[in-house]
Amino acid sequence: MLSSKAGCNSHGEDSSYFLGWQLYDNNPFHGVVNPTGIIQMGLAENQLSFDLVESWLRKNPDAMGLKKDGESVFRELALFQDYHGLPAFKNELVEYIAKIRGNKVTFDPNNLVLAAGATSANETLIFCLVDPGQAILLPTPYYPGFNRDLKWRTGVEIVPVHCWSSNGFRITMSALEDAYQSAQTLNLKVKGVLITNPSNPLGTTMTREELNHLITFAIAKNIHIISDEVFAGTVFDSPRFISIMEAATDRSLENENPDLWNRIHIVYSLSKDLGLPGFRVGMIYSNNETVVSAATRMSSFGLVSSQTQYLLSNMLANKKFTSKYMKENQKRLKRKREMLVSGLRTSGMECLKSNAGLFCWVDMRHLLSSNTFETETRLWKTILCEVGLNMTAGESCHCSEPGWFRVCFANMSQATLQIAMRRLRDFAERSSCDGRIGNKISSQQQNMSSLRRKLRSNWVHKLSSSECDEQHR
Ligand SMILES: Cc1ncc(COP(=O)(O)O)c(C=O)c1O
């Protein structure tokens, strides 16, 4: 019934990352209604500063009411269909993205293409730059949605750049070279390297040294650099954030290597920094006119509604509000992260030192009975079904080493986080009595079976059945 594209499995959604969400949906925690339910710690959503946005909305009813100086602009917005976007919104957006990058570089609204979130922006950019069957290099661990966003519809291949805990998962020249060589061995033409800075799932910003390696590497191989900077405004601690555009400007690439300057592109959205994933506001920023015009044409498939653009151009124009929001949001993220880190420490778990993001990258290698991804999956399932916490296993992030988990902290209240930490502490105490838990056949089997019956989609059903079968063996 389906086309081969729609029916094929390369959507990347058949990982434990998406399965965890489904199981959470069947039994979500609620302090009063469902206190034994699953707590969602696998969702990188920022709910910490909604009150600030809501307070701005209350004070600015005209923006929500589609009015300007008291007069309705409804008809104008209802008819607006230009895929270039509202000029007023693009002007505000470039000022905002410069501000969250410390005004170290300026951005030109003519180089900006709007898209329905970073998901759409990433796919559009890949469509514009890479042919089916060609490859893009991607440092590990990476955002679990990338296989779907970059590969599925474009037919592009991802070649991992393996990064390791021994140097804090930093990108090195030899890791980049190794990935390039493996692409060649596979007969894949490499068109670019895509980085996430700040990193999801690591929660770290890239060092100037790493950015310089990337620039040098992209010059040598004649490839593109795509920098997904959706977490740029979440940097709550030093070192400060350095955008690829700043690193390129500091090396005077515009004059000294215009070829590479024209191959540098940024992806950004308001989903994380402003906590508005439902508004679907994303963008591509490129130094390359040809890419901008191709991406603008392609953006017809994922435009941002003019109503949303109107509302947000008013909000971003209020510089006092954006300054206050950024500062307060970062302060709240830092505080929440500290709560998580100290809660995890009480359970004997350490995190990678981080300074950004809505999550921590947690080391649980000591809980594995063997250094394999199978054992990691068993641990993930135990934490999900016995402890009631949905975390993201490192394997879903294509981590090269088993035993690391991404744990989100910005999508829940302080009270919920405390309950999560209590559950984890109890679990850690039980596990230290039982020995390592990786091999333990646990009582979660029954929970999984009943949950499985309720699962909606076919692939989830298939995946969870095979997990349960495996436990029966
Ligand atoms: C690195 C990265 N890129 C893109 C996205 C997608 O963002 P959006 O909601 O703006 O589509 C996410 C979402 O988690 C992400 O972490």
Counting the structural domains of the chain, the total is 2
At how many degrees (to 10) do helices 50-59 and 319-346 cross?
A: 160
Distance, CA of 415 to CA of 31 (rounded, Å) = 9
Which H or E run includes 34? none
Distance, CA of 83 to CA of 66 (rounded, Å) = 20
End residue of a domain, out of 317, 351, 367: 317
Tell me the CA–centroid distance for residue 118 and ligand 1, in Å.
Answer: 5
- Reported in sequence order, the residue ranges of 101-140 that DSSP labels E, i.e. its strands, are 112-115, 135-139
Q: How confident is the model at residue 429 (pLDDT cuts 50, 70, 90)?
A: confident
- Residue 121 CB less than 6 A away from ligand 1: no
- Residue 228 CB less than 6 A away from ligand 1: yes
Q: How confident is the model at residue 6 (pLDDT cuts 50, 70, 90)?
A: confident
308/343 same-domain check: no
Q: What letter represents residue 468's amino acid?
A: C
pLDDT over 90 (residue 29)? yes
Distance, CA of 321 to CA of 338 (rounded, Å) = 26
pLDDT over 90 (residue 438)? no
- Residue 277 CB less than 6 A away from ligand 1: yes
Q: What is the pLDDT of residue 280?
A: 98
Distance, CA of 116 to CA of 301 (rounded, Å) = 9
222: left (phi over 0), alpha (psi -120 to 50) or beta: left
Q: What is the pLDDT of residue 459?
A: 34
| CA separation, residue 421 to residues 265, 344, 427 (Å) | 40, 7, 10
List, in order, residues 6 or more apart from 256 with CB less than 8 Å away.
Answer: none
Phi, psi (deg, nearest 5) at residue 393: -70, 145
173/306 same-domain check: yes
pLDDT over 70 (residue 381)? yes
pLDDT over 90 (residue 104)? yes
Q: What is the pLDDT of residue 463?
A: 38
Q: Is residue 279 part of a domain?
A: yes
Q: What is the pLDDT of residue 15?
A: 79
At how many degrees (to 10) do helices 16-26 and 373-382 cross?
A: 10
pLDDT over 60 (residue 219)? yes
Range of the domain at 31: 4-51+326-472
Q: What is the pLDDT of residue 466?
A: 40
How is residue 389 written in tokens?
A: 């916490």
- Residue 196 CB less than 6 A away from ligand 1: yes
R_g over Cα of the chain: 23
Distance, CA of 377 to CA of 396 (rounded, Å) = 10
Q: Are 48 and 332 in contact (CB under 8 A)?
A: yes
Q: How confident is the model at residue 435 (pLDDT cuts 50, 70, 90)?
A: low
122/212 same-domain check: yes
Please list the alpha-helical segments (H only) found in 130-230.
146, 173-185, 208-221
Distance, CA of 246 to CA of 229 (rounded, Å) = 13
311/441 same-domain check: no
Q: What is the pLDDT of residue 377?
A: 95
Largest CA distance in the chain: 70
- Residue 143 CB less than 6 A away from ligand 1: yes
- Residue 464 CB less than 6 A away from ligand 1: no
> For the chain, what percent of residues have pLDDT higher than 70?
91
Distance, CA of 339 to CA of 11 (rounded, Å) = 35
| Mean pLDDT computed over 260-285 | 97
Q: What is the pLDDT of residue 436?
A: 52
Q: What is the pLDDT of residue 433?
A: 66
Q: What is the pLDDT of residue 452?
A: 40
Identify which of 330, 327, 328, 361 has the alpha carbon closest to the alpha carbon of residue 344.
Answer: 361
Q: Is residue 358 part of a domain?
A: yes
Summarize pLDDT for 34-52 with one digit per residue, the tens.
Answer: 999 999 999 999 999 999 9
Distance, CA of 389 to CA of 217 (rounded, Å) = 40
Q: Are 143 and 271 in contact (CB under 8 A)?
A: no
Q: What is the pLDDT of residue 14?
A: 72
Phi, psi (deg, nearest 5) at residue 44: -80, 70
Tell me the CA–centroid distance for residue 471 and ligand 1, in Å.
Answer: 34
Q: HSE (CB half, 13 Å, CA atoms) of 83?
A: 14
End residue of a domain, out of 289, 317, 345: 317
| Mean pLDDT computed over 102-128 | 97
- Residue 118 CB less than 6 A away from ligand 1: yes
Summarize pLDDT for 309-336 with one digit per residue, the tens.
Answer: 999 999 999 999 999 999 999 999 999 9
CATH of the domain at 216: 3.40.640.10
330/313 same-domain check: no
Summarize pLDDT for 287-311 with one digit per residue, the tens.
Answer: 999 999 999 999 999 999 999 999 9
Taken as a whole, the chain contains a residue count of: 473
304/383 same-domain check: no
| Mean pLDDT computed over 117-127 | 98
Summarize pLDDT for 146-190 with one digit per residue, the tens.
Answer: 999 999 999 999 999 999 999 999 999 999 999 999 999 999 999
- Residue 111 CB less than 6 A away from ligand 1: no
290/390 same-domain check: no
Q: What is the pLDDT of residue 442?
A: 43
165/21 same-domain check: no
pLDDT over 80 (residue 198)? yes
- Residue 171 CB less than 6 A away from ligand 1: no
Tell me the CA–centroid distance for residue 185 and ligand 1, in Å.
Answer: 31
| Mean pLDDT computed over 92-96 | 97
End residue of a domain, out of 317, 334, 358: 317
β-bridge pairing 282-286 and 112-115: antiparallel
Tell me the CA–centroid distance for residue 199 and ligand 1, in Å.
Answer: 11
Average pLDDT, the chain: 91
Chain centroid to Cα 27, Å, comes to 24
Handedness of CA 294, 139, 255, 98 (dihedral sign): positive
Tell me the CA–centroid distance for residue 429 and ligand 1, in Å.
Answer: 35
28/88 same-domain check: no
Identify which of 203, 207, 286 has the alpha carbon closest to the alpha carbon of residue 241.
Answer: 207
Q: What is the pLDDT of residue 470?
A: 39
> For the chain, what percent of residues have pLDDT higher than 90?
83
Q: Is residue 39 part of a domain?
A: yes
